[in-house]
Structure 1
Amino acid sequence: MNRRSLRFRALAAVIGMLAGATLAGCGSGSGSGSEDLKQVTIAFGNPAFSLTVVEAYLPLAREWWREEGYDVTVVPNQGSQAATQVLIGGRAQFVIGNTAPGLAAAARGDADIQLVAATANNQWSLVAPEGGGITRPEQLRGKKIGVAVAGSGGAVYLDQLLRDAGLDPEKDVEQVVVGFGAAAYEALSSGRVQAFFSFAADIDNQIAQGARYTFMYDEQWRRFPDYGLLTTKQVVDVYPEMVEAIARGVAKSMAFLEASPECAAKVFRAGYAGSGGGGLTPEQEVTAMKLSLEDRVQTLKSTGGDDWGAVRLDGLAAMQEFLKAQGQLDTPAPVSRLLPEIDGLAAKANDFDRDALRAEARACAA
């Protein structure tokens, strides 16, 4: 099947799914229930809600998307690769997850995926217990490396780090799925694996539990817009106001976290810890949230410090060059093709009453 056919099918799926939901809502009367809301599905690139990935659950808990007219369902997936395939297949309108799988697919011409908001620059790291003797990737020959899930959006970074150290990722090390957070911490502490590769939000949870790690990563990664909200050009073209609204919920979640990491942790504990992403004490949750906020603020500052979710064009271009070097794509796409054609999108996503949001966060009615 050629690329035009794939894109036509994606457009047809988007129009059919969203128009059907809209018609169902329009025919339901004038109430204020979910039948009057447009149905939206977000494919989440984690198998469970995670404490520090606030953009996936705060807009649900605070009903920000609902207030804008959207009944949003966030569907966990095994990883960002899987979530991206859900988006390409037309079974979701958005992805919250790692950007690499979607942007690589877009640059290859497999799908018209676009980056709506970047909520974190690349914070992937390979970590080993501090004082355990492993401080460089080349020391992992013949060792076991824990990963949170199979097929994660960060796999390309781990492979590059190992290859640059002279290791074959498939032959010289054994990669073992150990899960997130407390499960990964236990695997490292017990010696079941000698190192662990994951993203900052996950590692922050472990540090909050008392972990002390040596970090290994490539400095160039820190420029890449690695995590955020993605959609397709077809969705942008047909429903630009919906894209703005979903992006606004994501931006609000960043501002809410900044205003009160304590309240964000309380919201997670009240409604989402049972999904499988919990396991910390309340005090540890707050510590993890504050560590995560540091990462988010670094990303905000790298884009000028004004708008949560803004995308640096040079970072996006550098990320494509990296993916090309890793064999993920042949020719980088023009950066403009990877971004929605919505004038002032980042500013529109940040167009909300920040003082009121801060007051809401500090009042903390979870």
Structure 2
Amino acid sequence: MSTIGISRRGALALPALFGLAATTRGAHAQGGLKRVRIAVGTTNLNLAYPWLTLPVALGWWQEAGYAVEVLPVGASLQALQQMVAGNAEFAQLNSSVVIQANVQNNIPVRAVMNNGVIDWSLSVLEDGPVKTVADLKGKTIGVFSLATGGIAFLRSYLRAAGMNPDSDVRLVPVGLGAPPIEALRNNRVQALLYWASAQAGFQNAGLKLRHLRGEDWQSYPDFTFSTLQKTIEADPAMVEAIARGCARATEFVMASPDCQRRLHWARWPSTRPTGADEATLAQWDLNNLEAQLGSMHAAHAMNGGQLWGRATPEAYGRIQTFMQEAGLIQRSIDPATYMVSIPDFYTKINNFDAAATRALAAACPAT
């Protein structure tokens, strides 16, 4: 995600990052709290980032001594740039950007938490003629853009089905929102290649879909809460505290997705969807959230099913191997390099009262 990286919306080239000028001052005390900034690879901090937004909404990081800002900055590349420039202590990235940063640019990014798996799929009309990937031969597939990261997985999927990805299908960019929905409805495209939350949006619009994906896709880690090695070395207690808030938030949202929705709407009202009655809007956002929770559950199971956020060298080794075989990177490194070196890190960040957290979610302190 060569120097082309896999992202949800675009394949990103990593330029020379260290020339960036910092636009804000470094971390400093604010009223006795230590300032921490998290750059997120998105333009819309919606409710699909509960591990980052719930600790803010519920004041957990403030109680732990940290004034945390969660900053949407664009795509994963921009989040990485902000962290490298010193404008953020953490960044929410795609796993491929973590790998590229280390392999291609020698930037020591570390996987603090694995928050999801590769959740791309091909969606086709449920009552349409396409039942299997083989039925896509000669068909047109809509994508966000011709640089969108899921194309690397699509090409591998097509080759595994005995097809030539360069000649057996046609890709057309259809963007986001209404255009891909209309393109599929009107048969301008016969399939859509998008990530899970986008697919949930298509279903919110009334499309009845069947999803096709490679059997291996969900064996690869994707969303990765990250920091730099120098941050770990300088303040391991801070890294643990911030990650513990993320792990506790994950426990909370798994217990009550609707409470997460209510808290998010109260804290960030501008992110609420529009265009329908309250119950429909709530269901739309819950559908988007459930798509993300499915990816979080899959990552949890892939990494042992015991500790929220756990990242493993085995999982990051798999996505690194995929990237090298796909020609997205030219070499590999020891996958243990991507891991946080703090002993018993995932046990430490899961050291919170899970039962009390679930009870809080059930009671739901949303206003």
Amino acid at match of 1:174: V
Deviations 1:273-306 (A, max 9, x none): 5237677622343344445434422322222221
With structure 1 as the length reference, what TM-score do the two structures score?
0.81
The answer to whether the Cα contact below 8 Å between 2:89 and 2:231 also exists between their aligned partners in 1 is: yes
CA RMSD, 1 decimal? 3.2
With structure 2 as the length reference, what TM-score do the two structures score?
0.81
Amino acid at match of 1:234: K
2:176 to 154, 175, 178: 178
The CA deviation at 1:196 is: 2.8
Alpha-carbon distance between aligned partners in 2 of 1:77 and 1:184, rounded to the nearest angstrom: 25
Alignment of 1:238-249 (within 5 A): 238-249=234-245
Identity of aligned residues (%): 28
Alpha-carbon distance between aligned partners in 1 of 2:155 and 2:273, rounded to the nearest angstrom: 26
Aligned length: 343
1:145 to 142, 146, 151: 142
2:133 to 133, 136, 147: 136
Q: Given the alignment of the two structures, is residue 21 of structure 1 paired with residue 27 of structure 2, yes or no? A: yes
**Secondary structure, in 3 states, of the residue corresponding to 1:359?**
helix
The answer to whether the Cα contact below 8 Å between 1:51 and 1:278 also exists between their aligned partners in 2 is: no
Aligned to 1:331: 331
Alpha-carbon distance between aligned partners in 2 of 1:89 and 1:329, rounded to the nearest angstrom: 24
The answer to whether the Cα contact below 8 Å between 1:65 and 1:72 also exists between their aligned partners in 2 is: yes
Alpha-carbon distance between aligned partners in 1 of 2:306 and 2:109, rounded to the nearest angstrom: 25
Alpha-carbon distance between aligned partners in 2 of 1:250 and 1:184, rounded to the nearest angstrom: 33
The answer to whether the Cα contact below 8 Å between 1:52 and 1:288 also exists between their aligned partners in 2 is: yes
The CA deviation at 1:313 is: 2.5
**Secondary structure, in 3 states, of the residue corresponding to 2:306?**
coil
Aligned to 1:231: 227
Amino acid at match of 2:358: R
Query: How has the CA–CA distance of structure 1 residues 277 and 44 changed in structure 2, closer, same or farther, with 3 Å as cutoff?
Result: farther
More helix per residue: 1 or 2?
A: 1
Alpha-carbon distance between aligned partners in 2 of 1:151 and 1:273, rounded to the nearest angstrom: 32
Aligned to 1:270: 266
1:197 to 193, 198, 210: 193
Deviations 1:124-174 (A, max 9, x none): 212222223344377375735132x786664543454466642339x9422
Alpha-carbon distance between aligned partners in 1 of 2:69 and 2:179, rounded to the nearest angstrom: 27
Aligned to 2:314: 314
The answer to whether the Cα contact below 8 Å between 2:142 and 2:189 also exists between their aligned partners in 1 is: yes
Alpha-carbon distance between aligned partners in 2 of 1:273 and 1:202, rounded to the nearest angstrom: 21
Aligned to 1:31: none
Aligned to 2:66: 70
Amino acid at match of 1:139: L
Query: How has the CA–CA distance of structure 1 residues 90 and 184 changed in structure 2, closer, same or farther, with 3 Å as cutoff?
Result: farther
Structure 2 unmatched runs, 5+: 1-15
**Secondary structure, in 3 states, of the residue corresponding to 1:225?**
coil
Q: Given the alignment of the two structures, is residue 298 of structure 1 paired with residue 298 of structure 2, yes or no? A: yes
The answer to whether the Cα contact below 8 Å between 1:101 and 1:153 also exists between their aligned partners in 2 is: no
The CA deviation at 1:347 is: 1.1
Aligned to 2:114: 118
Alpha-carbon distance between aligned partners in 2 of 1:137 and 1:79, rounded to the nearest angstrom: 33
The answer to whether the Cα contact below 8 Å between 1:37 and 1:71 also exists between their aligned partners in 2 is: yes
